Amino acid sequence: MITVGVEEEYLLVDPETLLPTPLVQEVRATASLAPIADEREVQDELLQAQIEVATPVCTALEEVGGHLLRLRHAVASAAQANGCRVAISATAPVRDVLPVPVTSTARYVKMRGEARVLVDEQLICGMHVHVGMPDRETAVAVLNRMRVWLPTLLAMSANGPLWDGRDTGFASWRTIIFGRWPVSGPPPEFAGIADYEARADGLVASELIPDRGQMYWQARLSERYPTLEVRCCDVQLEADDAVMLAGVVRGLAATAIAEEKAGVAPVQCRPELLQAATWHAARYGMSSTLVDPDGRSRSSGDMLGMLMRHIRPALEENGDHREVASLVQRLLREGTAADRQRRALAETGLSALAALITA
C-alpha to C-alpha distances, 86 to 8, 38, 101, 273, nearest whole angstrom = 12, 18, 18, 37
pLDDT (mean) for 153-169: 97
Per-residue pLDDT, 35? 75
Q: How confident is the model at residue 32, as a pLDDT?
A: 80
Lowest mean pLDDT among 39-43, 71-75, 227-231, 298-302: 39-43
Find the mean pLDDT for residues 121-144: 98
| Residue 161: band (very low, low, confident or very high) from pLDDT cuts 50, 70, 90 | very high
- Ranges 28-32, 50-54, 152-156: which has the least confidence: 28-32
Instruction: Locate the domains of the chain by residue range.
Output: 4-357
**Phi/psi of residue 123, each to 5°?**
-80, 60
Question: Quick one: pLDDT at residue 124?
Answer: 98
| CA 333 and chain centroid, separation | 22
Give the count of beta carbons closer than 10 Å to the beta carbon of residue 349.
10
Q: Quick one: how many helices (H) and strands (E) in the chain?
A: 14, 13
Q: What SS3 class is residue 203?
A: helix
Tell whether the model's pLDDT for residue 247 goes beyond 80: yes
The mean pLDDT value of the chain amounts to 96
Q: What angle do CA 209, 172, 125 make, to 5 degrees?
A: 60
Q: What is the pLDDT of residue 139?
A: 98
| CA dist., res. 65 & res. 73, Å (int) | 12
Local structure of 68: helix, strand or coil: helix
- Spatial contact of 65 and 243, defined as CB atoms under 8 Å apart: yes
H/E stretch holding 228 reads strand 227-234
Task: Specify the pLDDT at position 348.
Answer: 85
- CATH number for domain 4-357, candidates 3.40.50.460, 3.40.50.12140, 2.60.40.10, 3.30.590.20: 3.30.590.20
pLDDT of residue 245: 98
Q: Which range, of 24-33, 50-59, 120-129, averages the lowest pLDDT?
A: 24-33
Residue 346 has pLDDT above 80, yes or no: yes
pLDDT at 1: 83
Q: How confident is the model at residue 39 (pLDDT cuts 50, 70, 90)?
A: confident
What number of residues does the chain have? 359
Q: What is the pLDDT of residue 114?
A: 92
Average pLDDT over residues 198-225: 96
According to the model, what pLDDT value does residue 42 have?
Answer: 94
- Span 6-20, pLDDT tens digits: 999 999 999 999 999
- What percent of the chain shows pLDDT beyond 70? 100
Predicted pLDDT of residue 173: 98
Angstrom distance (rounded) from CA 90 to CA 204: 29
pLDDT top residue among 40 and 287: 287
Give me the pLDDT at residue 38, please.
77
